[in-house]
Amino acid sequence: MNSEKKLLLKGNEATIYGALLAGCECFFGYPITPASEIAHTAAELFPKLNRTFLQAESEIAAINMVLGASASGRRTITASSGLGISLKQEGISYIATCELPAVIIDITRAGPGLGNIGPEQSDYNQVVKGGGHGSYKCIVLAPNSAQEMCDFTMLAFDLADKYRTPVYVMADGVIGQMIESITLPAPMGRKPIPEWAIAATDASRRNFITSIYLGHDELEAVNIKLQEKYAEIEKIEQRCDSYRTDDAELVIVGYGIISRLLHSAVDLLRKEGYKIGMLRPITLFPFPKTEFKKLALSTDSFLCVEMSNGQLIDDIKLTIECSKPVHLYTRMGGNVPSMDEITNKCREILA
């Protein structure tokens, strides 16, 4: 074990470690709990490596700074939560349409409205379904540990570049606030400036980036191209964790902090003799449809556990075309379901 590079880090801090290791050059953000440590860590570390940290005047400004920095061909990141993500949506729609890479961290807090700063997963729809205007989508990674906050942020940059699309790393407040030990990955070094960038060089002088297409057919073609890209992403990038699902009569589903609870719940209920397993989506878009469809053939039912009003469950039902019952257990307002709540619900379904 490489004990030298083990660090104790908050999930939020770990995203910035990941960003810097991935060669990210700019951070733009506006403070918001429970994501603020991301800005704090960026404010400390980006300048140490002569990279750009700038506290923007708003989330709207931050995402548009990301748009600019990304257009110049540099890796760039922003972070926010719930209501801040709402404000970014117009910019994200532009970024998606301009086919620019960008990484957005969302540490979801409880809503709606001002809500509170407790953990929730209620940004699911606005993050996974596009969120802004128009027919676009973003890749969404859902880490469940400090290590993954770092690793997935690095992965997010690679995916963003590969597909020229915005990528979210979306976690709940618990994953953002929690400290765990992580193994520091190796740095990636600087990424070459892509040829499409408006990089202020003679070679890039004739590059331009836009999202306005007056002709209806022209814009439809742009839309179709985007949908083809999303189809490609769905084909290649689905990620999930299946745990003890082989003979499971009930498959419980959850992401983020919920998946950690579900993992323990499966162990506990297995000891009691229940045939139960867990499916943890790691990519929320693309939704791990292949695995869900496979399990829908073998299991009797699903239980979706989420800290939102039944947003994740829609994707499960659509994916398996309601071929098996899908139960729902939710907590909201900043509450995290307890082990007892989850296991009791499972016992009830399996009774």
Partner 1 sequence: MSKEEIKFGRSKGFFETFERRPGPIKKNMHYCPGCGHGILHKLVAEALVDLEMQDKMIFISPVGCSVFAYYYFDCGGISVPHGRAPAVATGLLRANPDSYVISYQGDGDLGAIGLNNFLQAANRGENLTVCFVNNAIYGMTSGQMAPTTLIGHKTATSPYGRTVTNEGFPLKVAEMVAALESPVYVERVALTSTKNIRSARRALRKGLTNMKEKKGFSLIEFLSGCPINLKKSAEATDEWIEEEMIPYFPLGCLKDIADERDKIIRPIPIFDKEKVTKALLESAGNIKFGDKQTKLRKDLRIKCAGFGGQGVLSLGMMIAAMGQSRNINVSWLPSYGPEMRGGTANCSVVMSNDIIGTPIVIETNILITMNQPSMDKFLPDLATKGILLYDSTSIKPPKTKSRVYAVEATRIALDIGNIKCANSVIMGAFAACLKGFELENYEGAFEEAIKTTFRKKPQLIDMNILAFRKGKDSVKTVNV
Residues numbered 101-120 forming contacts with partner 1, rule: CB under 8 A: 116-118
Helix 82-97 vs helix 216-236: angle between axes, to the nearest 10 degrees?
Answer: 110
Residue 227 binds partner 1 (CB under 8 A): no
Asked whether position 209 contacts partner 1 by CB under 8 A, the answer is yes
Taking the C-alpha atoms of residue 263 and residue 272, their distance in angstroms, rounded to an integer, is 15
Task: Report the residue from 83, 87, 199, 350 that binds partner 1 according to the rule CB under 8 A.
Answer: 199
Does residue 82 touch partner 1 according to CB under 8 A?
Answer: no
Give the integer Cα–Cα distance in Å for 133 and 126. Answer: 11
Chain-centre distance of CA 101, in angstroms? 14
Q: Are strands 240-243 and 276-281 parallel, antiparallel or unpaired?
A: antiparallel
In angstroms, rounded to a whole number, what is the distance separating the alpha carbons of residues 216 and 196? 24
Q: What are phi and psi of 248, to 5 degrees?
A: -70, 135
184 binds partner 1 (CB under 8 A): yes
Quick one: 121 or 238, whose CB is closer to partner 1? 121
Nearer Cβ to partner 1, position 237 or 306? 306
Q: How far is the CB of 330 from partner 1 (least distance, A)?
A: 17
Interface of this chain with partner 1, residues 266 to 295, rule: CB under 8 A:
267
Residues 2-21 that bind partner 1 (CB under 8 A): 3-9, 13, 17, 20-21
Q: Is 76 one of the binding residues for partner 1 (CB under 8 A)?
A: yes
Q: Exposure string (b/e) for 285-299, b if CB count within 10 Å is 16 or more?
A: bbbbbebbeebbeeb
- Distance in angstroms (rounded) separating the CA atoms of residues 113 and 115: 5
232 lies in the site for partner 1, by CB under 8 A: no
What x-and-dash track marks residues 300-339 binding partner 1 by CB under 8 A?
------------------------------------x-xx
Compute and round to an integer the Cα radius of gyration of the chain.
20
Question: Which is closer to partner 1, CB of 43 or CB of 328?
Answer: 43
CA 86 to CA 132: how far, in whole Å?
Answer: 8
Nearer residue to partner 1 within complex by CB, 69 or 320: 69
Scanning residues 26 to 45, which ones bind partner 1 (CB under 8 A)?
Answer: 26, 28, 33-34, 44-45
